[in-house]
């Protein structure tokens, strides 16, 4: 689904939904404590990269950076996996294209299998799972985008939070994606190591080329703002599976403006082959503070 418009600000609707959010959360806490009995302790270090917002903070590029740096396998649930991606999902497909070993499905089962590889002692990077108590993490890292902060500060479905803000204290470290704008009232607990990262969106076209940008991600406006000479945009629901009719309309829009179509890498891997030949994606690169790598190296020793 598309990210609800009230997630980033307090509205009458978000206040109406506020009690429902707390009911869901309290039920979730009961389930959490039941599932936390005898969590799996991995032979190999587990580095969990998660968030407390429902997507859109830029977690996957951070996972890619850490897994590449440590030459680590990645375990992930594989959201929206389907036969179109060999049961992988868009994020897993994107990471695999970078040469990473990605294991999709039940994280606990995949970690058990990876532990049987006696010749490999590298850490395992777990994409998401901060709220999963069945696996003991050696390092838990939360990712935030400073332009989003905590959104409107409310729990799902009244806001984007999976857990109250206090859950941040369970993290060993925080990575904040820097942005040109800063969400008001976004503050982090004192005492938790906090590092910063910068995202760089690399357009496949020259700066004077007119482009039509489209995306099916958590917060597509973030992507659109990173591009230049954009003459039109189209937003779709997160993890959107593009149909031939969708693409026909996008090509017609680009022809109307005499422009090129551009999307995100995450969207591009969901396109059919014929569309990939005609549509390019803007590469997202993330650079994390050097101090983070020193901290992480010390932490996993």
The Cα–Cα gap between 299 and 106 comes to 26
Homologous superfamily of domain range 33-200+286-300: P-loop containing nucleotide triphosphate hydrolases (3.40.50.300)
Digit-coded pLDDT (tens) for 70-111: 999 999 987 655 444 444 688 999 999 999 999 999 999 999
Does domain 202-284 fall into CATH 3.40.50?
A: yes
Do 292 and 174 form a contact (C-beta atoms < 8 A)? no
CA angle 54, 58, 63 (to 5 degrees): 105
Digit-coded pLDDT (tens) for 263-285: 999 999 999 999 999 999 999 99
Q: What is the band of 56 on the pLDDT scale with cuts at 50, 70, 90?
A: confident
Mean pLDDT of all residues in 119-137: 95
DSSP letters, 224-247, are: HHT-SSEEEEEE--TT----HHHH
The full set of domain ranges for the chain reads 33-200+286-300, 202-284
What is the model's pLDDT at position 183?
86
Instruction: Say yes or no to pLDDT of 224 above 70.
Output: yes
What is the model's pLDDT at position 101?
96
Check residues 136 and 180 and name the one with the higher pLDDT: 136
* Burial environment of residue 289 by CB neighbours within 10 A (0 to 12, 13 to 18, 19 or more): middle
The Cα–Cα gap between 148 and 12 comes to 20
The Cα–Cα gap between 229 and 213 comes to 10
What is the model's pLDDT at position 79?
64
Q: What is the band of 25 on the pLDDT scale with cuts at 50, 70, 90?
A: very high
Do 148 and 53 form a contact (C-beta atoms < 8 A)? yes
Share of residues in the chain with pLDDT > 70 (%):
96
What is the model's pLDDT at position 253?
98
Instruction: Say yes or no to pLDDT of 185 above 90.
Output: no
Digit-coded pLDDT (tens) for 206-218: 999 999 999 999 9
Q: Do domains 33-200+286-300 and 202-284 have the same CATH topology?
A: yes
Mean pLDDT of all residues in 184-191: 90
Instruction: Say yes or no to pLDDT of 14 above 70.
Output: yes
Helix residue spans in 165-289 (DSSP H): 220-225, 244-257, 265-268, 273-276
The Cα–Cα gap between 288 and 88 comes to 27
- Using the structure block, give the residue that is written with the tokens 């040469």: 99
Mean pLDDT of the chain: 93
Q: What is the band of 35 on the pLDDT scale with cuts at 50, 70, 90?
A: very high
For the whole model, what pTM was predicted?
Answer: 0.92
């Amino acid at each position: 689904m598309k990210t609800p418009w009230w997630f980033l600000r307090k509205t009458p609707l978000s206040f109406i939904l506020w009690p429902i959010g707390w009911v869901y959360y309290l039920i979730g806490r009961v389930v959490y404590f039941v599932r936390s009995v005898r969590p799996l302790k991995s032979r190999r270090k587990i580095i969990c990269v998660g968030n407390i917002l429902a997507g859109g903070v830029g977690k996957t590029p951070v996972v890619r950076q850490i897994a590449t740096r440590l030459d680590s396998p990645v375990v992930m649930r594989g959201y929206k996996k389907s036969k179109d991606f060999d049961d992988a999902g868009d994020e897993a497909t994107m990471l695999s294209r970078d040469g990473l070993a990605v294991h999709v499905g039940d994280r606990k089962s995949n970690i058990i299998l990876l532990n049987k590889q006696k010749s490999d002692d590298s850490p395992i990077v777990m994409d998401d799972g901060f709220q999963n108590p069945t696996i003991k993490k050696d390092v838990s890292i939360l990712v935030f985008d400073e332009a989003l902060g905590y959104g409107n500060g409310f729990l799902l479905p009244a806001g984007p939070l999976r857990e109250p803000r206090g859950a941040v204290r369970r993290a060993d470290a925080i990575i904040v994606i820097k942005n040109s704008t800063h969400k008001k009232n976004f503050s982090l607990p004192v005492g938790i190591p906090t590092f910063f990262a910068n995202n760089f969106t690399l357009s496949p076209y020259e700066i004077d080329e007119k482009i039509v940008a489209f995306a099916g991600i958590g917060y597509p406006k973030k992507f659109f703002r990173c591009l230049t000479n954009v003459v039109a945009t189209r937003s779709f629901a997160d993890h959107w599976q593009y149909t031939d009719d969708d693409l026909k309309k996008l090509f017609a829009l680009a022809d109307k403006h005499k422009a090129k179509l551009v999307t995100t890498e995450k969207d591009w891997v969901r396109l059919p082959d014929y569309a990939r030949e005609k549509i390019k994606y803007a590469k997202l690169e993330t650079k994390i503070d050097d101090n983070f790598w020193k901290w992480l190296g010390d932490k996993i020793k």
